Amino acid sequence: MTTNTTKTLRHFLTLMDFSSAELRAMTDRAISLKQMQKAGEIYEPLKNRMLGMIFEKSSTRTRVSFETGMVQFGGGALFLSPRDTQLGRGEPIEDSARVLSKMVDIIMIRTFEHEKLETFAQYSSVPVINALTDMYHPCQLLADMQCYQENRGSIEGKTVAWIGDGNNMCHSYINAARQWGFKLKIACPEGYDPDAAIFAAAGDQVEIIRDPMTASIDADMVVTDVWTSMGQEEEQLRREKAFTGYIVDDKLMAQADTDALFMHCLPAHRGEEVSASVIDGPQSVVWDEAGNRLHAQKALLEFLMGQTPSL
Ligand code: CP
Ligand code: NVA
């Protein structure tokens, strides 16, 4: 097998760091890696390689998928929390980046300010992955796009309804609409719009429609997320009021195409942003979506480490 041995340092801070062709190829590769895994094939392109995982916020899926992926690839992963490292005691991010990248081969970070991730990447000599910031969650989109493709084929030209907060997930959906070529209809209450610059950059691929029922008409996919993201806990009551009526329930799903899929990055709050009948119902693909975090990120790790087999 020949491998892509290019040594150019690439980071994955947003979906816009890759070309549309690279992202689509990565989705195809994730589907192949999933099949290989299910067939019990041993494939260890990252033997003895180490992923550093910095988590300044909680995680279930992201941690488990990255750690498992590295082990399946023959390498290892280190969980680094600010509570136990000097990062939490004020060691500068620039110094931490220079030191860690002398020892590990690739680094993922989940943090608050997106700028912190950018600074880290600037000082890192190894690839850096955005594992969620207040602004973006690009890894989740790799899994979501894979999930759509597996269930319905190409998403190009389709319509996706985003119901809820104009948050980090919404921003990554806006970027995904540009990169995968679908229309995104965003239903968010006033005051909870996505970032104006991110929205404007997507041109007529995206549209804000306040009313969630209208936004969902004929949608090929309906997607939502929590109303209160990590770091916004003190706004919870205000947000519960503001998002009243923004629940994805059976009535809303009935507006969408009969073949529409429902996705949610999880964790979910049944009875808030989604009804139990929808998330646990026949149109929901949330468990496959979550499971795809493993395969999508294995394709990402392989790519960033220059190990994707050339065809
Ligand atoms: N969807 C997601 O990123 O889940 P975790 O917060 O559990 O990692
Ligand atoms: N918007 C959510 C996503 C969690 C995976 C948050 O940032 O908390």
pLDDT exceeds 70 at position 78:
yes
Q: Tell me, yes or no, if 137 is annotated catalytic.
A: yes
Average pLDDT over residues 87-106: 96
Q: Tell me, yes or no, if 188 is annotated catalytic.
A: no
Nearest to 143 by CA among 310, 286, 308: 286
Q: What domains does the chain contain, in order, with CATH numbers?
A: 2-136+293-310 (3.40.50.1370), 140-290 (3.40.50.1370)
DSSP per residue, 204-238: GGEEE-S-HHHHTTT-SEEEE--SS-TT-GGGHHH
**Cα–Cα dist 6/106, whole Å:** 15
Calculated CA dihedral for residues 169, 170, 175, 176, nearest 10 degrees: 70
Burial tier of 125 (Cβ tally within 10 Å: 0-12, 13-18, 19+): exposed
Burial tier of 157 (Cβ tally within 10 Å: 0-12, 13-18, 19+): exposed
| Residue scoring higher pLDDT (7 or 206) | 206
CB 27 within 8 A of CB 292: no
Q: What is the pLDDT of residue 104?
A: 98
Ligand 2 centroid, distance to 227 Cα (angstroms): 9
pLDDT exceeds 50 at position 145:
yes
> Which residues have C-beta atoms less than 6 Å from ligand 2?
132, 137, 167-169, 225-226, 229-230, 265
Token code pair at residue 288: 């496959």
Q: Is 255 helix (H, G, I), strand (E, B) or coil?
A: coil
Residue of 264, 265, 295, 297 with catalytic role: 265
pTM for the model = 0.97
For atom 7 of ligand 2, which residue has the closest CA?
229
Q: What is the pLDDT of residue 8?
A: 86
pLDDT tens per residue, range 213-223: 999 999 999 99
pLDDT band at 310 (very low <50, low <70, confident <90, very high): confident
